[in-house]
Structure formats: structure tokens, C-alpha cells
Amino acid sequence: MASTDTKTKILDTAERLFAQKGFDAVSLRNIVEAAKVNLAAVHYHFGSKQALLHAVVSRRLRPVNDERLAMLAEARIKAGKRKLKLEAVLESLFVPVFRAQASHKSGGSFTRLIGRVVFDRNAELQKFMVGELAQVIIQFSRAFDEALPGLDKTEMDWRSHFMAGAMAHTLCNADLLASFTGTDAGAEGYETTVQRLVDFTAAGFRAKVFTHPKKQKSS
């Protein structure tokens, strides 16, 4: 099975390079040169550069999303009849993706890629991601509602949005933390980083709601 070997080499190399430089900035020739495989192998195994990106993303994201849903289900069981705990929901969302960085030998390139994907405006990738994330969004949206009963829907949407931004930025641009502040993001285990992120976002979700003025309808 030399094919599997080539396929994996392409996936690993593409993952690393996409994470480092972005999708558009990396050419197939960059990839095949680094992976030491033939140029045409990419199209033979994946069909197109876009399809390669999808394969790279889903290879890592699918198990992460499965684990997210599993952790959330377990949190529900643990809560029993009691209210779902916000921190448990957030941990279910964060832990799998942050652990994937530490566990796999990919050297953290995967999380940068996932973070980057959120901010990349590749239209095809966007559609692909919505499909990959559909179940996660549905389930966690419901879980947040349960953990924060009574929070206005619009406010909930915005806060989820802020939370997603903090998460994506942490995944994607951990190196910026070091360059701007001098704090080394890699100095501590992923558990500590997740703990910090949970603390921050949970407090944000629970913030006292400012009463926003109704939008003046002029028509």
C-alpha cells in the first residue's frame, strides 16, 4: 500500500503548509516538493487542490467534532436532572480541539489550520464547513440555551460569536501572544489554556445584560 503512504504524506505536508501560510499562499508544487511526491499525485488521490483542503480539514475536524458531541452528551448525563453547567458545555467545545494539538505529532499545525479556516473567506470552504459543523452548532446552541436560561436570544447569538472569536484567535494565532506580550503560549499544557479560555468566556456569557435601546424604525 504505497498509495496510502503517498496520500498520508500529502495530507500531512499540506496540513503543515496550509497552517503556516494559508490556502492561497501555498501552491501544489510547494506541497509536492516538501512531501517528495509527484505533482500529479495530488490530483490522482484528491481530484483538486480544493478537495485536498477539504480532506485535510475533515480528517482532523471530524474526530474532534465527534468528541465534542460525546463530551456534551456525557455532561448531560452527569448533570442528570440538574441544569447543564456552562463550564461543562464550554469545555466540551474546547477540550477536543485543543487536545488534538497536543496529542498528534503534527506539532500544533492542525489547530492553526482550523482556526485559520474560520477566518478564511474561501466560499467553497465556507459551505463545506457549515456542513461539517452543522450537528455541533445545533447541539451546542441548544446546550447554551439550557445552561443560560432566560438570556435573550440576540444577546446569546452575539456572545456565542464573541466566544467563537476568542477560541479561533487562540487556536490560530497563539504565536501572536508571544510576539506582542512576551508570554509564551506553548509554555503550559493545553489544559491550562482551556481553563483560561473557559474562565474568560463563561464570565462573558454570564455578564449582566445591558438593556439595549430598541432600534428606531424610521419607516
Binding partner of residue 77 among a second copy, DNA, none, CB cut-off 5 to 8 Å per kind: none
Q: Let me know if 90 is exposed, middle or buried by CB neighbors in 10 A (0-12, 13-18, 19+).
A: buried
Binding partner of residue 179 among DNA, a second copy, none, CB cut-off 5 to 8 Å per kind: a second copy
Three-state DSSP at 108 gives coil
CB-wise, 41 or 84, nearer to DNA?
A: 41
Q: Is 22 in the site for a second copy (CB under 8 A)?
A: yes
Q: Which amino acid is at 85?
A: K
Binding partner of residue 130 among a second copy, DNA, none, CB cut-off 5 to 8 Å per kind: a second copy
Q: Is 159 in the site for a second copy (CB under 8 A)?
A: yes
Q: Cβ of residue 18: shortest distance to DNA, in angstroms?
A: 11
**Inter-axis angle of helices 109-119 and 153-172, to 10 degrees?**
140
Q: Where are the beta strands (DSSP E) in 86-183?
A: none
Give the x-and-dash track for 25-54 against DNA (CB under 7 A). Answer: -xxxxx------xxxxxxxxx--xxx----
Binding partner of residue 154 among a second copy, DNA, none, CB cut-off 5 to 8 Å per kind: a second copy
| Number of neighbours of residue 195 by Cβ within 10 angstroms | 15
Interface with DNA (CB under 7 A), residue total 22
Q: Cβ of residue 103: shortest distance to a second copy, in angstroms?
A: 18
Q: Is 6 in the site for DNA (CB under 7 A)?
A: yes
Q: Cβ of residue 17: shortest distance to a second copy, in angstroms?
A: 12
CA distance linking residue 109 with residue 120, whole number of Å:
16
CA distances from 90 to 1, 14, 51, 102, 210 (A): 41, 30, 31, 19, 23
CA distance linking residue 195 with residue 87, whole number of Å:
9
CA distance linking residue 172 with residue 110, whole number of Å:
9
Task: Kindly tell me which residue out of 36, 121, 150, 218 binds a second copy, with binding defined by CB under 8 A.
Answer: 121
Contacts (Cβ under 8 Å, ≥6 apart) of 6: 37, 41, 45
Binding stretches for a second copy (CB under 8 A): 20-22, 24-25, 116, 118-122, 130, 137, 141, 153-155, 157-170, 172-173, 176-177, 179-183, 187-189, 192-193, 195-197, 199-210, 212-213, 215
Positions in the binding site for DNA (CB under 7 A) = 1-3, 5-6, 26-30, 37-45, 48-50
